[in-house]
Amino acid sequence: MRQWRPLLWSMLGLALAGLAAQAPHAVAQTFPDRPIKFVVPFGPGSGTDTSARYFARQLQAITGQPVVVENKPGANGFIAVKSVLAAPPDGYTVFIGSNSTLAVNAALFKALPYDPVKDFAPLTMMMRSPAMLAASPKAPYSTLQELVSYARQNPGKVNFGAGSAGYQLMGELFNDVANIKTVHVPFKGAGEAITAVASDTVGYTFAEVTAVQELAKSGKIRALAVAAGQRVGTSPDVPTAGEAGLPGFEAYTWVGAMVSAKTPAAETAKLAELFTTISKMQETREFYERLGATPMTGGPTQMHEFQEKEIALWQRIVQKAHVPQQ
């Protein structure tokens, strides 16, 4: 019997090694097997929240597991980020972030309490939506070219409203591309900024397509251009910035999904696969087209590269425009 013991131990070791090698595959097959939580850094009704709730419905339908959306607005997204990074890194807590929390904050804050690249593992981009330039109907310009010409003739005298830091930097990017100097006026949200434009308190603003197009159709504001490479299907009469005389000017809001960087690779990969599957659905494309947006179908690698480029862009704009860092 003793002579068989080394052989038995050897066989047992091989069996255990085989089980260990299959463990990630087993996890990928069973995950998720309980409710998932999406954490959103903005309130209900925001573009990020709308995307989160759509993906939550689709993910629940695919996996059969409940997906709960939890809104944690405030403090520039820090509250939501802190809750995600403090949760167990097991793949059951997903951060639904945006260009502001995942890129703009890295440019605007000297001591950001989190690293939007190192602290997270990207799953996929969910959508992007071009900014629309809305002007006051009482302003002395009715086209993008006229706005640029007027601003060049009156440096520092034209002001623009911004409902967030992200839209502020879009305004500064516009100044950079157009080679003009205008004055930023902050507002608490895009709604306030658009109201200020309609009342001629400020000359123009940048906002989501859905926030601008209906007011533009009613004549309360003017939609001068969409900051994208192609026109938006829901506002086909609004030219792109390039068509309106400012080639090269593109600016987007976007939404992406992340998990803690400490999440095991198997769970991260499975979530990325699920999110990418949803982003490629025809239903998803139709859903976003109704909002004047576009689904993004790239996986973790593409999202990482996109995020790095966005951070570099806004850091350059902050430095060139001398935007005060917080």
Residue 216: its pLDDT value, please? 92
Residue 248 lies in a domain: no
Q: Are residues 203 and 216 in the same domain?
A: yes
Q: Are residues 66 and 121 in the same domain?
A: yes
Q: Are residues 186 and 218 in the same domain?
A: yes
Q: Are residues 98 and 137 in the same domain?
A: no
Residue 51 one-letter amino acid: S
Residue 10: its pLDDT value, please? 52
Residue 162 lies in a domain: yes
Residue 149 lies in a domain: yes
Residue 4 lies in a domain: no
Q: Are residues 140 and 84 in the same domain?
A: no
Task: Determine if residue 248 is left, alpha or beta; phi over 0 gives left, psi from -120 to 50 gives alpha, anything else beta.
Answer: left
CATH of the domain at 189: 3.40.190.10
Residue 15 CB coordination number (10 Å): 10
Beta strands in the chain, from DSSP E residues, in sequence order: 36-40, 67-71, 93-98, 120-135, 159-162, 183-186, 204-208, 222-226, 252-260, 294-295
Q: Are residues 317 and 266 in the same domain?
A: yes
Distant-in-sequence, close-in-space partners of 73: CB < 8 Å, separation ≥ 6? 40, 41, 42, 43, 79, 80
Residue 88 lies in a domain: yes
Residue 80 lies in a domain: yes
Backbone torsions φ then ψ of 182, nearest 5 degrees: -125, 170
Residue 136 parent element (H or E):
none
d(Cα 74, Cα 268) in Å, to the nearest integer? 27
- Reported as a single tens digit per residue, the pLDDT across 27-53 is 456 899 999 999 999 888 888 999 999
- Answer whether 71's CB lies under 8 Å from 44's CB: yes
Q: Are residues 139 and 97 in the same domain?
A: no
Per-residue pLDDT of the chain (326 residues), as tens digits, is 455 555 444 544 544 455 445 544 444 568 999 999 999 998 888 889 999 999 999 999 999 999 999 999 988 899 999 999 999 999 999 999 999 999 999 999 988 999 999 999 999 999 999 999 999 999 999 999 999 999 999 999 999 999 888 999 999 999 999 999 999 999 888 889 999 999 999 999 999 888 898 899 999 999 999 999 999 999 999 999 999 999 999 999 999 999 999 999 999 999 999 999 999 999 999 999 998 899 998 899 999 999 999 999 999 999 999 988 88
Of 226, 242, 270, which residue constitutes the final position of a domain? 226
Taken in order 44, 48, 50, 53, is the CA torsion positive or negative? negative
- Answer whether 134's CB lies under 8 Å from 207's CB: yes
Q: Are residues 58 and 79 in the same domain?
A: yes
Which tokens belong to 267? Answer: 């769970």
- Reported as a single tens digit per residue, the pLDDT across 128-141 is 999 999 999 999 99
Residue 161 lies in a domain: yes
Residue 26: its pLDDT value, please? 47
Q: Are residues 123 and 265 in the same domain?
A: yes
What distances in angstroms separate CA 20 from CA 95, 147, 189, one per listed residue?
30, 65, 51
CATH of the domain at 267: 3.40.190.150
Segments forming the whole domain that contains residue 185? 130-226
Residue 200: its pLDDT value, please? 94
Label the pairing between strands 294-295 and 120-135: antiparallel
Strand partners, 256: 97, 125
Residue 237 lies in a domain: no
d(Cα 212, Cα 17) in Å, to the nearest integer? 60
Residue 190: its pLDDT value, please? 83
Which tokens belong to 10? Answer: 């050897």
Of 177, 211, 226, which residue constitutes the final position of a domain? 226
Residue 239: its pLDDT value, please? 97
Q: Are residues 185 and 162 in the same domain?
A: yes
* Structural domains in the chain (count): 2
Residue 8: its pLDDT value, please? 47
Residue where the block lists tokens 């790239």:
298
Q: Are residues 282 and 259 in the same domain?
A: yes
d(Cα 297, Cα 163) in Å, to the nearest integer? 28
Q: Are residues 145 and 191 in the same domain?
A: yes
d(Cα 51, Cα 45) in Å, to the nearest integer? 10
- Answer whether 56's CB lies under 8 Å from 67's CB: yes
